Amino acid sequence: MIKVSNKTSCMVKPADQTWSGKLALSELDQTGVTTHVPTMYFYKHSPDDWLTVLQTLKGSLSCTLVHFYPLAGRLSAIAGGRLELDCNATGVQFVDAYADKKLTDLDTLLPSPIYHQLIPSIDYVNAPLEEIPLLVLQVTRFVCGGFSLGLSISHVVADGQSALHFVSEWARVSRGESLESSPYLDRKVLRAGDPPRASSRLEHAEFDPPPILIDQNGSEHEKETEVTMLKLTPIQVEKLRNKANTSRKSEISHGFTRYEAITAHIWRTACKVRNHKPEQPTALAICIDVRSKMRPPLPRKYFGNAIINVIATGNSGEIVSNPIGYSSSKIRDAIEKVDDEHVNSVIDFLKGQEDLSKFRDLQPSSSDGHFYGNPNLGVISWLTLPLYGADFGWGKEIHMGPGTHDSDGDSLILHGKDGDGSLVVALCLQARYMEDFQKVFYQDIDME
């Protein structure tokens, strides 16, 4: 078992004076999951002088925060169950630690309980909101000279695109280069209009409670979960797309994307191995980046949350008994409804709520929030995110991926590290279903 010790912590603040004051958040910033999202980077080598590594990382982080100063602020609660961002340059938490193992001693670099020791924990229950850093990170050196970098960024402040923009720029500065592109920090471009800009007739099923198990026995969110990473070769990806496209509805004008076909396959496989009754309702949550959906499109480096969820629904029996093109079509229909009008309607719907907090912390693992575990799923695409190549001056990472990832039904699709067209599905499922899921997942790809 790995032992991580000698942890020291400090606050890193912007190197120069930054704008201070209260920054209004958009409605999309303060709904959904508002905890921190962890990611992990592993590096094979570092210089012998570890103190230089730490000084370089801290110094470059401080300089980068001058441009990304909202990350150095704090959240506070205001009326109507809403949040605002206090840009006060309090700083981000930087932890350095040592591990008593080599990187090669780890069973895997994939998400595991070990990650809990490599990413700073955050006490959401006892710590006042105004004291919780929006970015916490830990640099852990292994005895082989390799190290890990675990980051957790508040989802209120940044979505995946914004978080990776920050990491990319921080790495550039750490290498001694200048900033490539500054973040666009004005969130008013995604705030609700007054009067409302969109039709109120649009439905917002994404805010309704998802289905629960028929004849549920016990609390599903308390069941033990397990994480796996399922690799899909380029040939397997194309097999899934071909299977989906040859069985698609005639009104689908163009072929399904990789995301649509793979997500449909995940959905069908989960319905099979969970042994649902045929009439069991099941919902699939799909996360959509709306930057290019808006008219005009959002600024390219918009920093904040520009994502919404849409929901595809069906009964398990029909998902399983129909070919993959059936569930792919359901996913396509949900995605295609997202346009400028739809996004503005969601924002205006949220603006009209007296208490926005009821739409917050909809975490799959939450007992009092919306549960997207059994019989439901959430599948997020990381296919458009610039995941790899974060070189802080000592070479690119040997592995990058999601951090602690333990909510039933939570899954990601990302590119394989080799750049050969392979994809990886990072999946969390109840432990009792995982072995069957992996077996059926691959068997069904090869079935004619």
- According to DSSP, the residues that pair with 227 across neighbouring strands are 428
Is 391 labeled as catalytic in the residue annotation?
Answer: yes
d(CA 30, CA 158): 11
Beta bridge partner(s), residue 92: 12
Contact 408, 224 (CB under 8 A): no
Nearest to 365 by CA among 310, 405, 314, 309: 405
Per this entry, what is the length of the chain? 448
Amino acid letter, residue 302 = Y
Among the options 333, 340, 361, 391, which is catalytic? 391
Separation CA 127–CA 123 (nearest Å): 6
Alpha-carbon gap, residue 199 to 346, rounded angstroms: 10
CA 76 – CA 90 distance, rounded (Å): 13
> Alpha-carbon distance 45 to 142, whole Å?
10
67 Cβ contact partners less than 8 Å away, ≥ 6 residues apart: 169, 179, 182, 183
Active site residue 155: yes
Q: Tokens 């441009």 — which residue?
A: 67
Interatomic CA distance for residues 191 and 283, integer angstroms: 28
Counts for the chain of helices (H) and strands (E), in that order: 9, 15
Q: Which of 29, 67, 96, 155 is catalytic?
A: 155
Catalytic residues: 155, 391
